[in-house]
Structure 1
Amino acid sequence: MNDFLELVKSRQSDRAYDMTRDVEPEKLDRILEAARLAPSACNAQPWKFVVITDRELSIEIGKAAAGMGMNKFAKEAPVHILIVEESANITSMLGGKVKNKHFPLIDLGIAAAHITLAAESEGLGSCMVGWFDEKKMKQLAGIPEKKRLLLDITIGYSLKPKRDKVRKEKSKVVSYNKY
C-alpha cells in the first residue's frame, strides 16, 4: 500500500514537456492497458481512447487546447490521449435513469485517473485538460461530430521538478458515519 500512496503523492499535473524525447510505445501500451482495465458501471466501458503520437498532429491538437490563453503547454506535449464518451450498455443507461446519474462521466473519470497514475508509474508526466476547442480537436482526430470528446490527457517527459501537493486537510474532506 505504501508504494501506491507514494505513486499517488508523486503524480502531479505537468505543464512542461521535453519535446526532444518521444514516449516509448511499450510505455504507452501499458498506460492504455491500465485505462482499458478500469472499472465501469455495469461493465459498460463507455469510452474510446484516441491516441495522438504524430508530432505534427500533436502540435495541432495542442493548439486546439491552447485557446483563450489557457493550456499553452499542450502544444509541447508529445502525446495526447483523447477520451471520447461512447454509449453505455442498457443496464448502465437504465440504472442511470433510475438513480438520476450519468454513469459514463464517472466511468471516464476513473479511466482518466488510471491513465495519469499509469503514466506516473512509467516515469512520465501528465495533465488532464478539459478546456479545449472540441470541434477543432474532433476534426483533427477524425472523431465523429456526434460524439463527445470530454478530456485530453497530455503525456510526456516532464521538464519541471516534483512539487509539494497542496490539498485540504483530511478533516475537511473526510468524515466517518455522518456528514
Structure 2
Amino acid sequence: MILKTIKDRRSVRLYDENKEISDETISKILEHGHYAPSSKNSQPWYFVVIKNKKLIHKIMNAKTPERPEGKNLLIDQKEFNETNIPKAIVAIFFEKRRSIFVDPRFYGGKVKSYFLNVGGFAYSDLVNIGCVLQNMALTAHHLGIGACITGDLLETGINPEIYDWVKINKKDFQLVSGIRFGYPKNELGGKPNREPLNDRVKVI
C-alpha cells in the first residue's frame, strides 16, 4: 500500500472550494507527520494549523515581488481564484532549543564546528522537517486530500509578518516550510515525469 501511495502522490494546487476538511482528518495528518524520524529523536518541529479563511486569503494574497507570477498572486493573475485557496495551511516551525546544536542532552549544549550547517540549522535539523513534510503529504494522499509542500510562507510579504499573525515567538522558533491541504478540484494526473533512475545512481 505504501509503495503505491508514494508513486501515486501528486502536488495538488487546485482545490474543491465547496468541500471542507474535518478536524479529525487534519489531526490524523498531523499525527503521522509527528511520527517522522528525527536526529536523536529530537522532534524539533512545531505545527501551526491555519484554518481561518481570512488569514489563508491574506497569505495567498500576499505581495511576493520576487515571484515570476507577478506582484500579487490573486489580483494580478486571472488564473488565481478560489480554487487556488487551500482549506488549511500547516506552517512548520523549528523549535530552536531542540536542535542537536543546542539541546543540552546532545554534546553538552555546545556547538560543534565539524557539523555542516546552514542558516543556524544543523543539516540534520532540516532533514527532520523534510521527513515530516513527506509523511504529511503521503498521509493526506492516502486520505484523499490534496497536499502541496510550499516555501511561499518564507517569502517577502509573508515572512516575518507571519510570526505576528500566528502569535509565534521568533526568538524561540524559526519558520522552515509549510504545506497546503484541500480536496482536489480535479482528478489527479498520470504518472509524473521522472528521469531514468540509473542517471541518478552510482553503485560502488
Could you tell me the TM-score, scaled by structure 2's length?
0.76
Does the alignment pair 1:79 with 2:84?
A: no
Matches of 1:118 and 1:51, distance apart in 2: 16
Q: Would you identify which runs of 4 or more consecutive aligned residues in structure 1 move more than 4 Å?
A: 70-75, 92-97
Distance 2:185 2:53 in 1: 18
1:157 and 2:183 matched: yes
| 8 Å CA contact 1:80, 1:153 repeated in 2 | yes
- Higher Cα Rg, which structure: 2
The within-5 A match list for 1:1-179 is 3-64=1-62, 67-68=64-65, 69=69, 76-87=85-96, 88=99, 89-90=103-104, 91=106, 97-101=113-117, 102=122, 103-131=124-152, 132=155, 133-146=158-171, 147-163=173-189, 164-177=191-204
Q: How many residues align?
A: 174
Q: 1 CA distance for matches of 2:87 and 2:47?
A: 16
In 2, Cα distance between the equivalents of 1:145 and 1:86? 10
Q: d(CA) in 2 for partners of 1:94 and 1:20?
A: 51
CA distance in 1: counterparts of 2:178 and 2:54, whole angstroms: 16
**How far did 1:53 drift?**
1.2
| CA RMSD, Structure 1 to Structure 2 (Å) | 2.3
Task: Kindly state the Cα deviation for residue 61 of structure 1 after the two structures are TM-superposed.
Answer: 2.5
Distance 1:168 1:97, change over 3 A: farther
- Identity of matched residues, %: 25
Secondary structure of the 2:61 match is: helix
Quote the Cα distance in structure 2 between the aligned partners of 1:172 and 1:139.
45
Identify which range, 141-150 or 46-55, moves more after superposition. Answer: 141-150
Listed as ranges, the gaps of 5+ residues in structure 1 are: none
Deviations 1:3-52 (A, max 9, x none): 11210111111111112111111111110001111110011111101001
Aligned residue for 2:133, secondary structure, equals helix
